[in-house]
Every structure is written in structure tokens, then in C-alpha cells.
Homo-oligomer: A and B are copies of this chain.
């Protein structure tokens, strides 16, 4: 089947580019001597995670218990969830999953530890727990001064095991905090087996934090306009393209594509909602749900109604999450149709 036989908007994955990205990141981690743990939140497709494992990854990261369950059922065993799992329903499902799989989870507060401990205790099993450090993005994470208290609390619980530290993103600026946390834990007699770093951008600079033992990276598998704009990838490294049709040309300088915020998402970077391969100087400046507004004023050539274009999304993870199916292609040949199996899972 030819790509032109697909109706638009369609999410295309260039298999050759994806495989090159997979091999390159694995080689990067191998050269650094750190273990690699791809984050499946980007693709949510077991078949693609299998390619990452076959390339040498040690396990995977999932962002939700429901994702971990789906991937465990698909044959993946070593799964990390870098997220505070809160509430008895979720901690119970997490503990059920950990009865038969190697599951590691992160925490940043004693309340989260208490919930995990209760779920693990009723099952007489042990959960592996990382302590998350706060980073420059000021999202979740404990302060360095709190790490020893949290690690001790984990170790006091009979059914929890302190597995190490987790950092997102593991930018080079985080090294002093990581070093300080390790020293404080060491002084308290607590060993740190794992220091898990993450982020496609931070992975480039992972050599600057030699304390890292593993990297969790998601976006690298496809890349997107943001990773290109931030210098972590070239345009030729972008494996995901949204095949879209020009559906309206209301003025000489405006085109409308059939990929709106329900296809690309509303994520933007530098005022852009996506990059059009065929029209590098065009600018997707606005989205409706099913319309992309394109400014052609800087372009020499102008498309006509019915033309098809390839759009590199600003954020591949959220674009993927909007599709029910994506299409693996080699050149213009359609090779495989993948259901986005873990999209829309709630808990």
C-alpha cells in the first residue's frame, strides 16, 4: 500500500529513521556505561518497545500503572514508573503487578511511601522505591535535605526497598544535588544502587553526571520540532510526520490544513504548532480542532487545495496520544499499522 492511499490526517512513522534513533541512543548509553530504559509514554506501542529492548535496553519506563499493566501483559518485565502513585486503588494494582514483575516506582513524600507500604504489606511482597529529587523544572521531587529521611522511612518499611535516586530532567546543573544526596545517604549508611536520569535533551549531556547509572528517555525515538529547535536532533532525525491535506486557500497567503489541535495537540514552541517539510518557511500560527492555519507569506511556492504535506509536530508524545492508529512506513510504502495500544488509559 502506498502512503497516498491513506486518508488524512495520518500519523506516519518512518521506520528507518526510528531505528537509527533507537540504535544511536543505545550506542550513546553503551558508550557512557549506563543502562538504558526507554520511556514508552512517547509511543505507547508494545511492538516499538520490543525494538528498543532488542537494541539493548534493560527495561522500560511507563508513566502510569495502567500503562505498566498493559506492557507487562505484552511481555515486558523490568518496568519503572517515575511517578507518585497515590490512592488505594492504584497502589493495590501496582502491588498486584509487582507480584509477578520487576516494578520500580518513585516517591517524593512520606504520604506516598505510606500508601505504597500499605499495599505491599497486604500482599507480603516487596516494592522497589526510588526517591525523586526536585530539579530546575520545579515540578515534583523532594529537596536534597529530605532524601535521607525518606530513604530511611522506605527502609524501615518491611515491604519496601530503597532502590536509589531519580532525577528528571537530569541536566548537568543537577550534579551537585545528586552528589550531595549520595554523600548524605552514604553518611547515613544507605547505599544507592540506582541513579536514574531522564530527558531527551539531558541525555546528550549525561557524561557530565557520571553518578548516573541509567537513562530514561522517550522523545528521542521519534524526535519533533522541539528537540530540533533545542539542538538535540536534526530535521532528518524526525521519524514522525503528520500527513495532512490542504483543504482551503482562502487568501494568497493563507492555507488551511486538516490537522488541527485534535491531531497535532495545542503544544507550541516559539509560536509554531508544527513544521511543514515541503514549505520550510511556512508558519502554522493557529489551530482549531480540525484546522491548521498556515501563513505562506514567506514562501516562494504555494500549495493548492488537495495537495498533501508532511508536518513535523511540535511535541511528538502528545500527537501520538491523539491517534488511535499510526502507520509505519519505509519511503512511501506502508509497511505496518500500529494501534496506539496504551493511549487513553486513565489511571
- Residue numbers of A with Cβ under 8 A of B are 5, 7-10, 41, 63-64, 83-84, 86-87, 89-90, 108-109, 111-112, 115, 134, 138-142, 245-250, 254, 256, 258, 261-262, 265-268, 288-291, 293, 304-306, 317-318, 321-325, 343-347
Q: Chain B: which residue is nearest A143 at the CB level?
A: B250
Alpha-carbon separation in the docked complex, A321 to B345 (Å): 13
Given A7-B87, A140-B256, A344-B324, A112 and B305 contact (CB-CB distance below 8 Å): yes
Alpha-carbon separation in the docked complex, A110 to B321 (Å): 35
Distance (whole angstroms) from the CB of A261 to the closest CB of chain B: 6
A288, B139: Cβ atoms under 8 Å?
Answer: yes
Distance (whole angstroms) from the CB of A63 to the closest CB of chain B: 5
How many chain copies? 2
A138, B266: Cβ atoms under 8 Å?
Answer: no
* 7 tightest A-B CB contacts, nearest first: A7-B347, A324-B344, A266-B266, A140-B248, A111-B305, A84-B247, A86-B247
| A84 partner residues in chain B, CB cutoff 8 A | 247-248, 256, 305
| A112 partner residues in chain B, CB cutoff 8 A | 247-248, 305
Alpha-carbon separation in the docked complex, A64 to B266 (Å): 19
| A304 partner residues in chain B, CB cutoff 8 A | 111
Q: Chain B: which residue is nearest A89 at the CB level?
A: B7
Q: Which of the listed residues A41, A261, A345 has the most CB atoms from chain B within 10 Å of its own CB?
A: A261
* Pick from B41, B63, B108: contact of A248, CB under 8 Å: B108
Given A87-B306, A290-B83, A322-B322, A7 and B346 contact (CB-CB distance below 8 Å): yes
Q: Can you identify 5 A-B contacts, CB atoms within 8 angstroms?
A: A9-B346, A111-B305, A140-B250, A141-B248, A321-B322
| A306 partner residues in chain B, CB cutoff 8 A | 86-87, 111, 115
Alpha-carbon separation in the docked complex, A55 to B7 (Å): 35
A322, B344: Cβ atoms under 8 Å?
Answer: yes
| A267 partner residues in chain B, CB cutoff 8 A | 261, 266
| A134 partner residues in chain B, CB cutoff 8 A | 250
A86, B245: Cβ atoms under 8 Å?
Answer: yes
Alpha-carbon separation in the docked complex, A118 to B63 (Å): 48
Distance (whole angstroms) from the CB of A201 to the closest CB of chain B: 14
Q: Chain B: which residue is nearest A109 at the CB level?
A: B305
Distance (whole angstroms) from the CB of A290 to the closest CB of chain B: 5
B87, A250: Cβ atoms under 8 Å?
Answer: no
* Pick from B249, B262, B318: contact of A262, CB under 8 Å: B318
Q: Chain B: which residue is nearest A108 at the CB level?
A: B248
Alpha-carbon separation in the docked complex, A138 to B288 (Å): 12
| A86 partner residues in chain B, CB cutoff 8 A | 245-247, 258, 305-306
Distance (whole angstroms) from the CB of A117 to the closest CB of chain B: 14
Q: Chain B: which residue is nearest A111 at the CB level?
A: B305
Q: Chain B: which residue is nearest A290 at the CB level?
A: B63
